[in-house]
Structure 1
Amino acid sequence: MSFETLTIIAVSAFAFSGAIVALSERYDIFGTFMLGIATPFAGGIIRNIAMDVPVLHVWEQGHLFYVAIGTIAVVYFFPKRWVMFWDRWNIYLDAIGLSAFALQGATFAINHDFPLGGIIFAAILTGVGGGMTRDVLAQRRPMVLHQEIYAVWAMVVGLLVGLEIVDLASSWQKYTLFVVIIGCRVLSYHLGWHLRFRDLYRL
């Protein structure tokens, strides 16, 4: 599986996630497509703006834009009774997108010769930017600001890549990290891990 394939999976997963959230919030077709498109592409746009790198417009994303459009269309024309069922699986789709885009962000920073801090920053912004934008547009509390551990996993990607503990030139290391981050995100969700240390003092 190439990194291009990984990017397609991430775009599709985040577009699916955004469309499901839009439908569960009873958005119309325009709102559904806007939220579905924003989710996979907003993180990269935010990253480029923050790091003073030229922004590639959404419609210039080539086949990735059409992958997102196609995914959203499939979701929108599902029987509506399926929406709430699929919403239960949104955490897994979000975990795939988070892991893949965090890796994409770290790769982007390395290709632009950014130092360790820049690699971590790019991984976080790319990994969580789309999901955060989705939640804000859907008027939900962003998961990155929620008690669940979310952005930390993107930071871990940037840290491991930036310290050269994981070599992205090695396919098995890259995809092992991809799967591990998905597993960590899902596990932290189901086990209720959080960063609210203040709660520990109440035990």
Structure 2
Amino acid sequence: MELSETHTLPVSQQRAWEALNDTSILRACIPGCESIEPDGENAYAVAMSAAVGPVKARFKGRMLLTDIDAPRTYTIVFEGQGGAAGFGKGNARVTLEPENDDATRLTYVATAQVGGKLAQIGSRLVDGAARKIAGEFFKRFGEQLSGQQADDANGASSAGSAMSAQNTELDQTPDSESGDEGTKRKKSWTAWISKS
């Protein structure tokens, strides 16, 4: 089985590369992923559940990153065992190319082999399931990157607003207030600002 697709990501090449190497982002984006844990240098232990046609299984496997040329490309070599459901193994060559400062084109070419019950289902169902999982991954991945970008922008503007509000608060505190009362008022004013 061979899969090849191209996706445009709404972030810089460096940010896309960092996200592809962030296990918490990958765990959130891979459909059915239960865990991704470091397992040696550039290697990860992966556990996930998947359904291919009538076969549903929990797979445990290993993912190894090779031919690393940061932040442009790497190859993922993977293998997984699904007990009675069978096994899957293969590799994927992932390439990142900048389109401009705020967009990156991700291209991958993956080849995979399956065995056991999975192989008996038929290549059309296996290919369809693989394309569906890949499609869902890239949809979630794009959303994660867009969401983080929005959070970064909101965080910067919120920090700016809080700073200017804090400066206004200091400028408007009357000198005649007693120390305790002034402190209480400042605290409640700060709390009110952080809520808005």
Q: Tell me the TM-score normalised to structure 1 length.
A: 0.26
Higher-Rg member (1/2): 2
Between Structure 1 and Structure 2, which shows a larger proportion of helix residues?
1
Between Structure 1 and Structure 2, which shows a larger proportion of strand residues?
2
